[in-house]
Chains A and B, each alone.
Chain A
């Protein structure tokens, strides 16, 4: 009955996106049988040959692993070879091997069974761990186990070679080398039952850009080979027997993704430059270090804002120096020699190191936030600065302090930085010779004091979201006052102008890293003021590049001057809308 249902009517399965994209094709079932491990009693005379069979299987697995590793070396980077290293370690684990051999001998049992018993112990121990990362390692071990068992049974499927290109492969588990094979066949996508988003195979799928959904806990036995399927690895859905209309929609979406990819490819190497040849640096805002590669792929010329508070995840624990160091150095390495601006923790409101907060706040946005926390609890800032300085040798680091409202805060923060710096110097820790320091301009008092602050810092970055919220006294998270949140309020434009002019007069760089930098209507104004650096969310990079190419700096200057003389949000918005339309800029969102 169920099979009929799957084959005859559109059915949705849900999972987690491990690698984004869309695939449309036919089902290819791999390992469709759960590996069943037989249990056989052995005669004493069979034991020696059974042990030999086990060792042969191990060697075979090792050999294939090495083969796959060699074929991947050229193109793939270190993290993949580490995946292989780990698998090799398991295959070479002498104790594990001895345990299995002992079991075969003592219990007179076949090798698959003995092997499974030994490994299952480890799997059980790991899967009861409360730690998500360790828990997901179970999938890696399970994949390895199944692989060895397959070798022992001599049923190592050749089937992978028969995968059609663009097929969507369904498997309970896959090994990294299976995946590399599949890539050669140009599979369309992967659906895995037993994998987590951080499993080896998921990491590999992501960097190979094979659309992949994992953790699909459905009965794969119900599937039939060659069934039509859509893999929507944007929302984590598998659509079996899709209807014509569904297919059509996803073809359109797939085509669009392909075009975007092509366009990106074209724009990647180009820089953002106006018609009259003024170059603009287009950087990316990052929330987690793993976005770095995507940002580079989108053609970002650096990182304009790395928001470190996401390192906290769901936890209220301060991330360790080591953890921070890993994240910072990863991004710096990826982008080197391009600049990476890392902002110290912007904690406050709901995102708080809870052990430090003592007063319940009525207005968290006007409360104990960002640099205020850092200065009051220096160990938080010190640990972060230590991690930053240690990472600095890996690239072009700039450090930025958030939520500055007076010069004392800058001086205190710099003092802490100096202390940490000289401490590390004494410990002979290698660091970058010069690390530029900057501040966020997101509080009106900072915008009005840029000329004063210029004596203390090397650069500024306008955080427009908060600047608007604080200047106009509008809580941007409160929908009831949303209409008071006005990007084009003359007060905002003036504060930006004052900041930009003060920065330039003091020969300091000033960038825009708030949402305004990605807003089409604001582009002519910001560029007209002379801003040379914009930082936006990675996927917007190509689009903004393209738009900048349609502008001319001299025209933008006139537009900015004109806008600054206008009275109301409405007048400004209408004018900018008409202007942008005439310039051929489509309005985004």
Chain B
């Protein structure tokens, strides 16, 4: 996924993302470069220091893994509702 919102994954999008991920049972990880974090943690997501246009990999495993990836992709697509 590519971070499309203008300020990158700062606190607000990070918390939107973490909140969404927390709603699912699956284990969800985000990877950027050599950093891998738990997507359910705001602090973790911020640790990615993902500036605009940076690339992020979503990884999930568990009973609702497909659904969670789908939902997170949607978030990235609509720039975390920053409108």
Report A-chain residues with C-beta under 8 Å of the C-beta of B52.
131, 320
CA of A325 to CA of B83, assembled, Å: 8
- Chain A residues with CB under 8 A of B35: 125
Flag B7-20 by CB within 8 Å of A: 1 or 0 each. Answer: 11111101100100
Say what secondary structure dominates the interface of chain A.
Answer: helix
Q: Which residues of A contact B82 (CB under 8 A)?
A: 322, 326
Q: Are B41 and A322 in contact (CB under 8 A)?
A: no
User: B15, B22, B49: which contacts A86 (Cβ < 8 A)?
Assistant: B15
Residue in B22, B50, B79 whose beta carbon sits within 8 Å of that of A322 in the complex? B79
Contact B15 A95 (CB under 8 A): no
Instruction: Report the bound CA distance from A81 to B66 in whole Å.
Output: 34
Taking the complex as formed, is A472 at the interface, i.e. its CB lies under 8 A from any CB of chain B? no
Q: Judge whether A90 and B42 touch: CB under 8 Å.
A: yes
Query: Which residues of chain A are within 8 angstroms of B79 by Cβ–Cβ distance?
Result: 322
Complex: A95 Cα to B43 Cα, angstroms? 9
Tell yes or no: A568 within 8 A of B by CB.
no
CB distance from A146 to the nearest CB of B (A): 15
Which of B6, B9, B51 lies in contact with A130, CB distance below 8 A? B51
Q: Does A96 contact B (CB under 8 A)?
A: yes
* Bound Cα distance from A86 to B79, whole angstroms: 18
Q: A122-B43, A326-B6 are in contact. Are A134 and B38 (CB under 8 A)?
A: no
A569 at the binding interface (Cβ < 8 Å): no
Complex CA gap A484/B43 in Å reads 60
Separation of A130 and B53 alpha carbons in the complex (Å): 13
Q: Are A122 and B47 in contact (CB under 8 A)?
A: yes
A131 to chain B, nearest CB (A): 4
**A96 to B40 alpha-carbon distance, docked (Å):** 9
**How far is B14's CA from A85's CA once the two chains are assembled, in angstroms?**
12
Contact-residue size bin, chain A (C-beta under 8 Å from the other chain): 20 to 34
> With A130-B51, A322-B79, A326-B6 as given contacts, are A122 and B12 in contact (CB-CB < 8 Å)?
no
Q: Verify B46–A122 contact, CB threshold 8 A.
A: yes
Residues from 25 to 50 in B contacting A, C-beta threshold 8 Å: 35, 38, 40-44, 46-50
| Chain A residues, CB < 8 A from B48 | 125
Q: Are B44 and A96 in contact (CB under 8 A)?
A: yes
Q: Which of these, B8, B10, B43, contacts A93 with CB under 8 Å? A: B43
A131 touches B8 (CB 8 A): yes
Contact A125/B8 with A89-B15, A89-B42 known, Cβ cut-off 8 Å: no
Evaluate contact between B47 and A126: CB separation under 8 angstroms: yes
Cα distance, A86 to B16, chains bound together (Å): 10
Q: Are A137 and B43 in contact (CB under 8 A)?
A: no
A373 at the interface (CB under 8 A from B): no
A25 to B6, CA, bound (A): 41
Asked if B11 and A126 make an inter-chain contact with CB atoms under 8 angstroms apart, the answer reads no
**Given A90-B42, A95-B38, A320-B6, A121-B11 contact (CB < 8 Å):** no
Min CB distance, B30 to chain A, in Å? Answer: 12
Bits for A83-104, please: 1 = Cβ < 8 Å to B, else 0. 0011001100111100100000
Proximity bits, B41-83, A CB within 8 Å = 1, else 0: 1111011111110000000000000000000000000010011
Which one of A93, A94, A131, A322 contacts B51 once the chains associate, using CB atoms below 8 Å?
A: A131
Task: Assess whether A93 is in contact with B18, with CB atoms less than 8 Å apart.
Answer: yes
- Taken together as a complex, chains A and B put the C-alpha atoms of A490 and B38 apart, in Å, by 71
The answer to whether A89 touches B6, judged by C-beta atoms less than 8 angstroms apart, is: no
What's the nearest-Cβ distance from chain B to residue A197, in Å? 15
Nearest CB of chain A from residue B28's CB, rounded to whole Å: 11
Which chain B residues lie closer than 8 Å to A140 at the CB level?
11
User: Contact between B8 and A133 (Cβ–Cβ < 8 Å)?
Assistant: yes
Cβ contacts A345-371/B at 8 Å (1 or 0 each): 000000000000000000000000000
Contact assessment for B47 and A121 in the assembled complex, using a CB-CB cutoff below 8 Å: yes
Tell me whether A322 and B40 are in contact in the complex, defined as CB-CB below 8 angstroms, given that A129-B51, A141-B46 are known contacts: no
Q: Which residues of A lie under 8 Å from residue B22 when comparing CB positions?
A: 94
User: Digit string of A105-132 for contact with B (CB within 8 Å is 1, else 0)?
Assistant: 0000000000000110110011011110
Assuming the contacts A95-B38, A95-B40, A140-B11, asked whether A125 and B49 have C-beta atoms less than 8 A apart, the reply is yes
Residue of B7, B43, B52 with most chain A CB atoms under a 10 A cut-off: B43
B71, chain A: closest CB distance, angstroms: 18
Write out the residue numbers on chain B whose beta carbons fall within 8 Å of the beta carbon of A320: 6, 52
By a CB distance below 8 angstroms, the chain A residues around B41 are 93-96, 99
Q: Which residues of A contact B83 (CB under 8 A)?
A: 322, 325
Docked CA distance A11–B21 (Å): 52
Q: Which of A99, A118, A122, A141 has the most CB of B within 10 A?
A: A122
Q: Max chain B CB contacts within 10 Å: which of A85, A90, A323, A325?
A: A90
How far, in Å, is A28 (CB) from chain B's closest CB?
A: 29
Please, could you name 8 A-B residue pairs with CB atoms under 8 Å apart, sorted by A?
A89-B14, A90-B11, A93-B42, A93-B43, A119-B43, A131-B51, A134-B49, A325-B83
A129-B51, A134-B9 known; 15 other A-B pairs, CB under 8 Å?
A86-B11, A86-B15, A89-B18, A93-B18, A93-B41, A93-B42, A118-B43, A121-B47, A122-B46, A125-B47, A125-B49, A134-B10, A134-B51, A320-B52, A326-B82
